[in-house]
Each structure stands twice: as structure tokens, then as C-alpha cells.
Amino acid sequence: MDWQDLIFKFVGGLGIFLFGLKYMSEGLQKTAGDKLRSLLAKYTTNPLLGVLVGVIVTILIQSSSGTTVLAVGLVNAGLMTLRQSIGVIMGANIGTTMTAFIIAGVKIQNYALPIIAVGVFLIFFLKKKLYNYIGQVIFGFGMLFYGLKTMGSGVKPLKDLEVFKDFIINLDNPILGVVVGTIFTVVVQSSSATIGILQTIATEDLINIKQALPVLFGDNIGTTITAIIASIGASVAAKRAAAAHVIFNIIGATLFIIFLYPVTQLIIWLGDYTGASVSMQIAYGHGFFNITNTLVQLPFVAFLAYLVTKIVPGEMKQLEFEAKYLDERLLSNPSVGLGQAQHEIIRMGELARESLQEASEYFFNKNDKAKNMVEQTEELINELDKKTTEYLVKIQQNELSEKESGKASILLQTINDIERIGDHSENIMELADLSILKKAEFSDEACTELKKMIELTDKTIQQSIESLENDDKELAEQVLDNEAELDKMEKQFRKAHIKRLNQNLCSGTSGTVFLDILSNLERMGDHSKNIAQYVIFGE
């Protein structure tokens, strides 16, 4: 037996399969744009609807891990509740069975290379982005099946190997099968890949359906590793969503192992009745497992949410991802509507200030929760920016007095300044990431200077928002004074740090991060000044 050929083909084929799956999934997500995220966030008001949305999104992107990570991300951002995410995760498990049915039912392996060629043509020879994304999907689809074909040709000789035969015989132990499936899926981080491999070796008569089913159940447990990884450093709610994914699949695997004999007989009968191959029987088993598991556990979503709350303790600092003050019924009364819009803008300003505080906490103390709050707050600010702007545009469609028209214009400009302040906080968070990655060290003097400038920037933002809220021109004048002081600080601290760089008292990376943070803080001061000038001059 040519071991080198076997290993190269199996490992290479697995690599091609995983690359194709990932590339296809990314192409599908790019083609759909933000619609998938919006679909998950908006149409999951109850667990049953969440299941349906989870199924649809997973079929579209061909990755239950991708859907689960999206759900964890939305919970982390406060856009989805824990109960909603559990429904989506259940649906994702059902949706991923489509890949197994495609692999078993459609003999595409022989046409993998021309499919890849079509994908390459769309990617490299057409300029329109949409065609490039579609090409990415087609290319990934072809690579997926070419990888399976390569693996299949590699594992064929194993059927004559005594050691492999003995190992397969031992897989008659269902517990061992579950363990093998779990470990393999944890390693490759894709249940679609491991089930595809399972179908490939079954096609080569290396494993039967009785041995394959426990491995398949283990695959479903192993796929939860992606959600666990995605929840690291995330909010308590996101960790609970990942825990719910793990518990859901462990309970399902346990139940199916207990009832393994009748389940196996049902799958065999269904296979015989439809004249299905072993590969298709594995697809039947995968579909039956996930659909039945969801139907059994769906009525207990509330209990599952309660259980993970006890397993993953901690307080959840969640933001309300909705506008508090924008009432469509007040659009017909422009004066009142403008007042409501201003309340929402004041809220945006307070969030922008909190974002700076959290970014500073992350920079100085490497607190991952603070980083999460910056990301969450930035997303909320962007959402409020969009909704408040739309609200003000609707108000302007009415007949406004000169004063009302001027105020609407000022509020629209203020929204932009506040959104930019939030962007600069996110920039500081990203600079903190860079300093951690590059292990940049900062002198006590540099830290003191940054803290001093951050403190004044925070005060300046606060005063600009308060001056807007109370139409306080005197306070707005203080903002202008603070902004001038921030400009002086930026120049002074920049010179001092360049001097430290020249004396080799700090590294090039720390110097770059320090100077970029100064620039971001100075720009925050500029936007605060803009808001103050709207108050003072009304323009």
C-alpha cells in the first residue's frame, strides 16, 4: 500500500473540501449582503419562527456553524435574545442536513473541474462584484466535490487493511462512534465536512449504516466547538447561546444513542424502501436526527434558556437596540417630532461618550468586556443614526417654519458628528487590539498623557451634548475652549512622544499607536466643537 499517496490524497482532499465549503459560504453571504443578518435579527420573535429562519439562512449559506456564529454575534450585540437564538440554532442544525443530501443525491464529482472553471471565469473575467460573488459560490461548490473525489480515491485501499478493518469493527460500540465523530469534527470544525467524509468512506464500502449513525451523532456534538470559539471574550448572553448549542446537541445524541436500535432499523427500512445508497441513508439519518431533536426540544426552549442561565452565571449588560423616542404618530406635529428626535440624538451622544470610556478601559486594562461594549455601542449608534435620520427626513416632508427647518438641519448635522465620535472610539479599540497583538509597551509618561487627553475629551463630549440638550450657549463656549486646549495637547504630546521615539524609550509600534490615539481624540474634540457651534450660531 502506498501510504504517502493515501495520506496526501486524504489530507489534500480534506483541505480542498474545507476550502471549497468556506469559500462557497463566504460567497453566498456576500451575495446576500446584510440581508441575512437583518433576517436573523428581525424575524425571530418566537422560537418556532427562529427555527424556520435558522433553516433558511443555513440552507442559503451552507454552514450551520456560520448561522450559529451569526446568532451568537447578534446575541452579543444585543440584537437578539437568548430564547430567539436557541430557536435559530435548532434551525441551523436542520438546515445543514441539505449538504449531506446534495452529496448523497447528486453525483457531481465527475463534473467538479468544469464547475471550478466556470467559477474561475466569473471571478477573474467579469468586473461586476455580484458576478464575482456568484463565481465564488460556484468555484467553492466545485472545489467541495473535487475534494470529496480526491479523498474517495485516497481511502479506497483501506478496505484491504486489517488494522482499519479492526478499527471499523470496534465502531460497533456506539459510544466509541460518538467519541470519534465528536473529536474529528472538533478538529476540522465543520460537521458538513465530517459527514461528507463519512458518506465518502461509506460509498467505498468501508463502513455500514449501523456504525455510521453514532459517528454522525458525535459530529453534531463536535460542531458546537465553532460557537464556543465565537463566544470567547463575548458577553454573558453570547456564552449562554453557545452553551445552549452544546446542551441541545448533547441531549439529542444521548436520546438517539438510547434509542439507537429502532432509529437504525427505521433508517435501514427507509433506505430499502427508497432504494437509497448507504451515503443517502447517512443523509436520512442526519436529517432525522436534527428534525426529531428539534421537535422534541422546541417546547422546552424556556427551560433550556433557564438552564444555561444557571450554568453560565453573571450579569448581562445589554443595550436596547431600538429607538426610544421616535414616535411615527408625532410626524404630523413637526415641533414635537423634532423634540423627540433631539431626545434620541442626546441618547446617541451619551452612548458615544460611553464608547470612549469603554475603549479607554480596554486600552489600559485589556478588558475584553469593555471591547465587547465598544462594538455593541458602535452598532447601536449606527442603528440610531439611520433611524433618526429617516425620522427627520419624514418630518421635513411637512410644511415647516423657518425655525423648525433650521433646527431639523442642525439635528441632521449633529447626528453625523456623534456618529463620527463613535467611529473614533472604535478606532481606539482597534489600536488597542494592535498594541496587544504587537505587545507594544507604553511608558508611564505616555500613559499619563493619554489619560489626561482622554479625560478632557470625555468632558468636552459631555458638555457639547448638554449644551445641545439645554440650548446652553455658555456651556457651548466652554466646549470651544476645551477643543482649543485639546489641539494644544495633541501638538505638545506628539512632540514629546517623537522625542521619546528618538531616544529609543519606546518602540515604533507603540509610537504609531500613541500618535494615532492622539489624532482620534483630537478629531473627537473637533466634532464636539461642531455641535457647540450649532448651539451658539444655529448653523
Q: What is the CATH number of the domain that holds 463?
A: 1.20.58.220
Say yes or no: 223 and 301 in one domain: yes
Global pTM reads 0.57
pLDDT at 450: 92
Say yes or no: 293 and 356 in one domain: no
Residue after which a domain boundary falls, among 259, 278, 311: 311
289 in a structural domain: yes
Which of 79-83, 297-301, 394-398, 517-521 is least confident? 79-83
Say yes or no: 395 and 483 in one domain: yes
The confidence band for 235, taking pLDDT boundaries of 50, 70 and 90, is: low
Say yes or no: 282 and 334 in one domain: no
In angstroms, rounded to a whole number, what is the distance separating the alpha carbons of residues 307 and 248? 11
Say yes or no: 364 and 451 in one domain: yes
Say yes or no: 198 and 95 in one domain: yes
Say yes or no: 38 and 168 in one domain: yes
pLDDT at 226: 67
In angstroms, rounded to a whole number, what is the distance separating the alpha carbons of residues 186 and 220? 10
The confidence band for 467, taking pLDDT boundaries of 50, 70 and 90, is: very high
321 in a structural domain: no
- Mark 25-41 as b/e (b = at least 16 C-beta within 10 Å): bbbbbebbeeebbebbb
274 in a structural domain: yes
Nearest one of 69, 125, 67 to 99, comparing CA atoms: 67
pLDDT at 61: 63
In angstroms, rounded to a whole number, what is the distance separating the alpha carbons of residues 159 and 376? 53
> DSSP class of residue 332?
T
Mean pLDDT throughout 59-75? 68
Q: How far is the first Cα of the chain from the last one, in angstroms, to the nearest whole number?
A: 82
Say yes or no: 206 and 352 in one domain: no
- Residue 345 pLDDT exceeds 70: yes
In angstroms, rounded to a whole number, what is the distance separating the alpha carbons of residues 326 and 391? 7
pLDDT at 120: 93
318 in a structural domain: no
Q: What is the pLDDT of residues 276-292, one digit of tens each?
A: 888 888 888 888 998 99
Query: Which range, 70-84, 180-194, 231-245, 249-263, has the best average confidence (pLDDT)?
Result: 249-263
Say yes or no: 83 and 19 in one domain: yes
114 in a structural domain: yes
pLDDT at 140: 84
pLDDT at 65: 64
Q: What is the pLDDT of residues 31-40, one digit of tens each?
A: 655 565 566 6
CA 29, chain centre distance (Å): 12
Say yes or no: 301 and 334 in one domain: no
The confidence band for 537, taking pLDDT boundaries of 50, 70 and 90, is: confident
- Residue 539 pLDDT exceeds 80: no
Say yes or no: 428 and 348 in one domain: yes
In angstroms, rounded to a whole number, what is the distance separating the alpha carbons of residues 184 and 196? 12
320 in a structural domain: no
Which of 89-98, 198-207, 371-380, 416-425 is least confident? 198-207
Q: Which domain holds residue 467?
A: 330-537
Number of domains in the chain: 2
Residue 48: all three cell numbers together = 418556532
- Residue 441 pLDDT exceeds 70: yes
Mean pLDDT throughout 262-268? 91
Mean pLDDT throughout 24-45? 63
Percent of the chain with pLDDT over 70: 83
The confidence band for 94, taking pLDDT boundaries of 50, 70 and 90, is: confident
In angstroms, rounded to a whole number, what is the distance separating the alpha carbons of residues 180 and 216? 9
Residue after which a domain boundary falls, among 283, 311, 339: 311
pLDDT at 62: 61
Say yes or no: 267 and 357 in one domain: no
388 in a structural domain: yes
CB 480 within 8 A of CB 371: no
Residue 275: all three cell numbers together = 432504494
283 in a structural domain: yes
Residue after which a domain boundary falls, among 255, 276, 311: 311
Q: What is the residue whose three cell numbers read 460518538?
A: 178
